[in-house]
Structure 1
Amino acid sequence: MPLASLLCLVIAVNDGDTLTVRCAAPDDRQPVRVRIAAIDAPEWQQAFGQQARQHLAQICFRQQATLRPVDQDSYGRTVADVRCGDTDAASAQVRAGLAWVYRPYARAHPHLPPLERQAQEQGLGLWSQKQPQAPWNYRHHR
């Protein structure tokens, strides 16, 4: 996928960090699964997993989204910076305490760690738990 921005319609919200979109590219109208860059939301079975999905749906479902693809992950999903309307999806999820900043891939997103610290300090979302388990640890121990 080229690094140019794509204009898409969000047709599904799979979880707190993954969307399915249909883009306006005339050569390809197939649905595309998109992983939001630099964040990792709780898994569906984890505490706050369902809330993370619901929050992302409120922001993005059936909305026009601008995607700036940055990579492709090992599952074949497009990894992209995603804006739904005027809202940066990664920032919104982190600010609400519904996603972790995924630091191995967050170098190009220096605005996210301060949002995470603020959500932590305010005890928002997953940060209301005494010891929230990061999704990458959850997946590793499943």
Structure 2
Amino acid sequence: MLSAALLCLVVAVSDGDTLKLRCGEPGAYRRLTVRLHAVDAPELGQPFGRSAKRALADIAYRKTARLDCGQTDRYGRRVCEVWVAPASCTDARCPKTLDVGLAMLTVGMAWWSRTHASEQSQAERGRYSFAEREAKARRVGLWAERRPVPPWQWRPAHPYPR
């Protein structure tokens, strides 16, 4: 699915599944808006929307990220796997081993987007499915609600602005 990796700095978090990044060298920066691949977080106006944004900021904001990007979505955002160094590593040279989308599933702040499962390897599908099931079983994040409404069901009843 994915093209060559890019290294970029996360400069903003728009919501629970969208990042703004600065890529390139000083004087030749390129701004990029990226949607996390294979996850869907609550919209800002729905329950846990602001919490999902904070969780994504805790994981990725002001970190150097490795992006493995594929297609562009209908809003012009690149859809990417995003990898950062784990919080336990404070050296800028740390390897980017934390899958941000998987981390969002683990903390219960996103749904695994099964519509993109065919673009994932079998191992990746297994990890994403397991992380979502575990978060649900532990009732963490949005799974603390009795019947959380996925964003793809919430959006049609709540058109922009959200």
In structure 2, the partner of 1:34 is 34
Answering whether residue 73 of structure 2 is matched by residue 73 of structure 1, we say yes
Percent sequence identity is 40
Give, in whole Å, the separation in 1 of the partners of 2:25 and 2:4: 11
Structure with the greater alpha carbon radius of gyration: 2
- For each residue in 1:81-103, what CA deviation from the matched residue of structure 2 results, as whole angstroms up to 9, or x when unmatched? 00122321001100000000010
Q: CA distance change for structure 1 residues 27 and 67 in 2, over 3 Å: closer, same or farther? A: farther
In structure 2, the partner of 1:98 is 109
User: Aligned runs of 1:106-117 on 2, under 5 Å?
Assistant: 106-107=117-118, 108=120, 109-110=124-125, 111-117=127-133
Unaligned 5+ segments in structure 2 are: 86-96
Give, in whole Å, the separation in 2 of the partners of 1:25 and 1:106: 34
The structure 1 segments of at least 4 consecutive aligned residues displaced by more than 4 Å after TM superposition are 25-28
In structure 2, the partner of 1:46 is 46
Letter of the structure 1 residue corresponding to residue 138 of structure 2: Q
In structure 2, the partner of 1:133 is 149
Per the normalisation by structure 1, the TM-score is: 0.94
Per the normalisation by structure 2, the TM-score is: 0.83
RMSD: 1.7
Unaligned 5+ segments in structure 1 are: none
Give, in whole Å, the separation in 1 of the partners of 2:62 and 2:26: 20
- Residue-pair matches, total: 141
